[in-house]
Amino acid sequence: MTVDAKPVAELPDPRDFGLSVVPEGEIPAELASLVDEVRSLVDTVAHTKAGSRELAAAREAVAAANDRLKGDRHDIGTMVQQVWPDGRVEYGTLTNVVSGPTNAAAPPLRMETAPEGGLRGEVVLNGTYQGPPGLVHGGWLAALLDQALGSAAGAEGMPGLTANLDVNYRNPTPLNAPLEITARVSGTERRKVFVSGEVRHNGQVTAEGTALMVRMNLPGDGGA
């Protein structure tokens, strides 16, 4: 593969593109705790065998909570600024379905700098991510890889969108078990960023992916 020597661009500040930014440290602890509870609730509801009376009462309680909270919302597209222990700053959407800290549908996946290079994260997927019996849905594994590979490109100062994603499923991926996600940039060519990554359980690769990310056009690029 040709590796372009073109220097990577500075990470853009989403505010320069008119987007709102919430520093992760300013997310109320009560909201983080509520998101955890809702994530657990979705799994509970998906699997419950409760009777009609209990179900009706639970529905009333959830409807009351929904009514209480739904008036005051962040705009779609609001970003979250995350600062990692190594000082790396990353912007993502606040409600990103894989990594968004306020999205109860997100596992959530958090990627950190790996000692061997690239990024590494750990995640446990509960029963709401089920495809085959007891196993993670393949589409969700693709989503995990897509996010991890995009983060790896972003971590190298090359944030962009996925143009192509190729996933191979090597072994079944269990639910409710720790998974390790790894991702790295393998090369660049003009605005094309080639990335690869894996999902592992107990050290065994269960899914692996490669992607082409096309880096955002940034000021000073000259479009190259």
Ligand X SMILES: CCCCCCCCCC(=O)SCCNC(=O)CCNC(=O)[C@H](O)C(C)(C)COP(=O)(O)OP(=O)(O)OC[C@H]1O[C@@H](n2cnc3c(N)ncnc32)[C@H](O)[C@@H]1OP(=O)(O)O
107 in contact with ligand X (CB under 6 A): no
218 in contact with ligand X (CB under 6 A): no
User: Which of the ranges 12-20, 65-73, 129-137, 155-163 carries the binding residues for ligand X, by CB under 6 A?
Assistant: 155-163
DSSP one-letter string for 83-130:
E-TTS-EEEEETT-TTT-TT-TT-----EEE-TTSSEEEEEE--GGGB
User: Nearest distance from residue 92's CB to ligand X, in Å?
Assistant: 5
User: Which of the ranges 36-44, 108-116, 142-150, 166-174 carries the binding residues for ligand X, by CB under 6 A?
Assistant: 142-150
Structure tokens at 64: 């009351």
Q: Which of 80, 146, 188, 208 binds ligand X (CB under 6 A)?
A: 146
User: Nearest distance from residue 156's CB to ligand X, in Å?
Assistant: 10
The two beta strands, 119-124 and 192-201, are: unpaired
Which parts of this chain interact with ligand X (CB under 6 A)? 90-92, 146-147, 150-151, 154, 159, 161-164, 190-192, 212, 214
